[in-house]
Amino acid sequence: MDEPIFKEVLGRTEHPIKKQYTWWTEPVESGLQLAITLRYLAKGDSYESLSYAFRAVQNTISFIMSETCEAIIVEYVEEVIDCPKTPDGWKKVAKGFAER
């Protein structure tokens, strides 16, 4: 993914994934959360591999994945995902899968 697209996705998803700083922990910045999630989605790296690559513990990566994916879905659902509204629409989708 090139930088302008990354920045556009980050700009649209940053607010829901941004964490507050607390006195006992420093949050993982939004850009890093998005980078970890995109690496996982693109390459299918294991949480262990991502943990070494991004210096984050596996349970944090697990939390980042679900939260960031949810933010991406909420932000892009109307633009990207065209969900059929009728039974005939769903039959057309099923036929497309069957043909593949």
Distance CA 17, CA 11 (A): 11
Q: pLDDT of 41-90, one tens digit each?
A: 999 889 999 999 998 888 889 888 999 999 999 998 888 767 788 999 88
Contact 15, 21 (CB under 8 A): no
Domain ranges of the chain: 3-99
User: Is pLDDT above 80 for 8?
Assistant: yes
Question: Does residue 44 come out as left (phi exceeding 0), alpha (psi in the -120 to 50 range) or beta?
Answer: left
What does the pLDDT look like over 16-53, one tens digit per residue? 787 766 677 777 888 999 999 999 999 988 999 999 99
Find the radius of gyration of the CA atoms of the chain: 17
Q: Quick one: pLDDT at residue 20?
A: 67
Contact residues for 44 (Cβ-Cβ < 8 A; gap 6+): none
User: Angle of helix 47-54 relative to helix 58-80, nearest 10 degrees?
Assistant: 100
Predicted TM-score (pTM) of this structure: 0.72
